[in-house]
Amino acid sequence: MSDLTRKTAAELAELMTSGQASSVEITQAHLDRIGAVDGDVHAFLHVDTEGALAQAKAVDGKRAAGEQLSPLAGVPLALKDVLTQEGVPTTAGSKILEGWKPPYDSTVVKRLKAAGIVILGKTNMDEFAMGSSTENSAYGTTHNPWDLGRIPGGSGGGSSAAISAYEAPLAIGTDTGGSIRQPGAFTGTVGVKPTYGGTSRYGLIALASSLDTPGPCARTTLDAALLHEAIAGYDPMDSTSINQPVPAVVEAARNGDVSGLRIGVVKELGGEGYQPGVEARFHEAVELLTKLGAEVVEVSCPHFEYALPAYYLILPSEASSNLAKFDAMRYGLRVGDDGTNSAETVTSLTREAGFGAEVKRRIILGTHALSSGYYDAYYGQAQKVRTLIARDFAKAYEQVDVLVSPATPTTAFAIGDRIDDPIAMYKNDLCTIPSNLAGNAAASFPCGLADEDGLPVGFHVMAPVMRDDLLYKVGAALESALAEQWGGVLMTKAPELEVTR
Amino acid sequence: MPSITREEVAHLARLARIELSDDELDHLAPQLDQIITLVGQVSQVAADDIPPTSHALPLTNVMRADENVPCLTPEQALSGAPAAEEQRFRVPRILEED
């Protein structure tokens, strides 16, 4: 048997259906791979060896008994540490939750388990998903498998690095401002942010409730679509869940026909500040889609320029409120409870010790933006800008079916480069943030390597609300055309990691 | 003049229940000043007659049927507590001493 960790999720499912491999064998192969390379990559915060093998064995048993199984049954997956899984440590990358074992499963986890998908462990992330590099994790930085001296993106850098390092064929991320798509771009993998409300937030440790969206990460478009279908759909436990059928994402990923599709290139997402190699690969991909029959036009979204400032008012405002629950009373860290300190003092001491620098920055910024006297100028005005951004999208979608841009202005940067320059760090998410503010579906697909550094570039597609299928249509068309040029998907160009025993 | 002073940052930290050291304040205040200058760009947008959006999708209040459903046991609910006593969360004193 050739190396099971190099297979796609769809291929692994086929091997199990045809009886050529068991889920236990496949799971063990990935656990071995984690053991061999994760010392260097540090994608995982917790590996649940026993739990994963038990899940795999259960799936194999059901298959042997002739039970009807879902398409991804027995395929292993890496789970971002921001989603609760009963009895498995969940930290959200923060010291304040060190050692916490949730007493319940998030809806995403419930659906993964129901689909027979094997959860290998929890992946590293920026603390409470605040960051674009995983350098804000309280448990150390994840390294980009393409170049271990570089960051893998963030906040979901652990999930994207895990699939890029062949430690798992699938992963779950969450996207509040680009935390699935930007790491996808930086690691040469696929990252999809579904329509807001298309996937459930129940059991997702909230960063900004009006923006947070769980979604799939994979090495191919079809794998991402299969995972999307497994986790998406209405959930009565989430008050903002959309009660409509899941868009036909798998069908779109299998079909990938863009002839006649109207594609708009967003004029404002390019030019100054964008790396030449990123722009070159992006424009080549647009040309390729034109050759495949898409109709490409330039589209202007004039308010996208203000998406970043509006986001950095809305997000910290919601975060400062959401993170108030970490008060040292019901779960997590408690510091200074010496019998003399008041509850309020204990809360303040605990939050000082348990939160990292970026979390403190954003809580204080949010507290400021929401304070009386500043509310209208900051939070109120940001909400109005949010309306204008949504209107830019609505107007664009009168002309075109999808919008496209580079996923990020640059490729992956060196570890340490931007950690003490919050604004340079925030600018990573220039292209991804508008879709979070408007709630539409968006994804990053690999479109080549930048000439100047040989690192992956992401092609960003933005589709209207509940038209997630269009993302996969474009992604599949691009992927098969590029694979023909390259003789395989982009990931086959990734350097081999050193294996330790 | 900075858009936010060191004293204001200290005040906000107290409101947010985060005890900050002097070193942290020295580091955070200038960074927050830069960030507030960046986010202040929203004021350049003429939006007086634009309605605010708090949420990307139209929201309606969601109710569930008034039926008993299973919930966490006291043991499960207390499983992550820093301190528990008699099936309750034990917390530090909440009133100031006389």
Task: Tell me the sheet residues that pair with A461.
Answer: A404, A443
So where are chain A's domains? 4-304+386-493
Dihedral (Cα; A179, A280, A468, A481), 10-degree rounding = -130
A155 classed as catalytic: yes
Residue A321 forms contact with B (CB below 8 Å): no
What is the rounded CA–CA span in Å between residue A36 and residue A5?
12
Q: State yes or no: is A493 an active-site residue.
A: no
Arithmetic mean of pLDDT, A379-384: 96
- Rounded CA-CA distance A253/B89 in Å is 50
Using 50, 70 and 90 to split pLDDT, how confident is the model at B1?
A: low
Structural tokens at position A73: 């049954």
Active site residue A179: yes
How confident is the model over A88-99, as pLDDT tens digits?
999 999 999 999
pLDDT category, A200, cuts 50, 70, 90?
very high
B41-87 pLDDT, tens digit per residue, is 999 999 899 999 998 888 788 888 899 999 999 999 999 999 999 99
Helix axes A357-369, B22-39, angle to 10 degrees: 50
Answer with the residue of higher pLDDT: B65 or A85.
A85
Average per-residue pLDDT for chain A: 97
- Structure confidence at residue B27 (pLDDT): 92
Looking at beta carbons, which residues of chain B come within 8 Å of A176?
A: none
Contact A227, A118 (CB under 8 A): no
ipTM: 0.95
For B33, the token pair is 């000043």
pLDDT digits (tens, 9 = 90+) for A295-305: 999 999 999 99
Q: Identify the residue among A358, A368, A379, A440 best suited for mutation to test binding to B, counting B beta carbons within 10 A and taking the highest.
A: A368
Residue A33 has pLDDT above 70, yes or no: yes
pLDDT at B95 over 90: no
3-state secondary structure string across A370-434: CCCCCCHHHHHHHHHHHHHHHHHHHHHHHHCCEEEEECCCCCCCECCCCCCCHHHHHHHHCCCHH
Structural domains present in chain B: 6-43 (1.10.20)
Cβ within 8 Å, pair B57-A197: yes
Is the pLDDT at A1 greater than 60? The verdict is no
**Coil, helix or strand at residue A79:** strand
- CATH number listed for the domain at residues A4-304+386-493: 3.90.1300.10
The answer to whether the CB of A142 falls within 8 A of the CB of A43 is yes
DSSP string, A299-328: E--GGGGGHHHHHHHHHHHHHHHHGGG-SS
User: What pTM did the predictor assign?
Assistant: 0.97
Q: Single out the catalytic residue among A155, A200, A241, A435.
A: A155
Interior CA angle at A199 toward A230 and A138, to 5°? Answer: 100
Q: Which residues in chain A have their CB less than 8 angstroms from residue B25's CB?
A: none
Residue pair A43/A77 in contact (Cβ under 8 Å)? The answer is: no
**pLDDT tens by residue, A224-271:** 999 999 999 999 999 999 999 999 999 999 999 999 999 999 999 999
Find all residues with CB under 8 Å of B49, minimum gap 6, and list them.
Answer: none
Which pLDDT value is given to residue A2? 67
Within A165-248, where are the H helices? Answer: 181-186, 221-231
What is the pLDDT at residue B58? Answer: 81
Q: Is B29 on the interface with A (CB under 8 A)?
A: no
For residue A335, the tally of other CB atoms under 10 A from its CB is: 20
Average pLDDT, integer, range A394-407: 98
Biggest alpha carbon–alpha carbon distance for chain A: 73
Mean pLDDT (whole number) for A74-95: 98
- Asked if A334's CB is within 8 angstroms of B54's CB, the reply is no
In this structure, what token pair is assigned to residue B4? Answer: 């936010």
